[in-house]
Structure 1
């Protein structure tokens, strides 16, 4: 059985591949700041997209996309704004998406849901 961190890293790799296959350009992975971490920073056209990846093997504690607390959402918004400030992109159009992945015990991705503009800033 893989550890929780392994599931997260595997989910992020699946999400990154999913995004690049659909024309997104990856700018950063696991970007860290005092406020928190952004799993994936991508761009598509003129929009910067911050992607929170939620990967789970079980829905015992809810489906992956249901596990974002109000506190985590606020932290993502603050961290996204810090990324924009750090890269001189204060005027850029941006959004926060969620990619929810339900893995089986072999780390296959039988279900992937991409929720665009999932968190409003």
Structure 2
């Protein structure tokens, strides 16, 4: 019976996807400790992806999770550009429509949960469809 050769020279470093998934899981846990309730993760719709969808009271919260090892080139929160905000708004609009809602009928907000090194920054209502 043939043996599977041992992998040599393999890095123990996580891929970008694995790192992103780990920080999104940490973000979900962190937000749940703050009283938010989980609805969905990694929601893909036409034009983009929403990392987390949570609920706080009657408010649907769309969460963008960002991680940067350091603030050397700007912190994690600074990486949510206008272009990224636009994509998140469009993705949320499609998701709401699939769930019989819209920005006019559903109380919602867009938060950014930014991990920079060991610091956590939660920016509630970071942007909206009117900004």
Same fold by TM-score greater than 0.5: yes
Shift >6 Å, 4+ stretches: none
Residues matched between the structures, number: 115
Unpaired runs of at least 5, structure 2: 1-12
Indicate yes or no: 2:61 matched with 1:49: yes
Unpaired runs of at least 5, structure 1: 104-109
TM-score (norm 1): 0.88
1:62 aligned partner = 74
Q: Distance in 1 between matches of 2:22 and 2:114?
A: 12
For CA contacts below 8 A with separation 6 or more, give which structure has more relative contact order.
1
2:121 aligned partner = 113
Higher Cα radius of gyration = 2
Deviation at 1:3, TM superposition (A): 2.7
Superposition RMSD in Å? 1.2
SS at match of 2:73: coil
Deviation at 1:69, TM superposition (A): 1.6
Q: Distance in 2 between matches of 1:7 and 1:56?
A: 11
2:114 aligned partner = 100
SS at match of 2:124: strand
Q: Deviations over 1:35-74 (max 9, x none)?
A: 2000000111110000000011132331000011211110
TM-score (norm 2): 0.82
SS at match of 1:74: helix
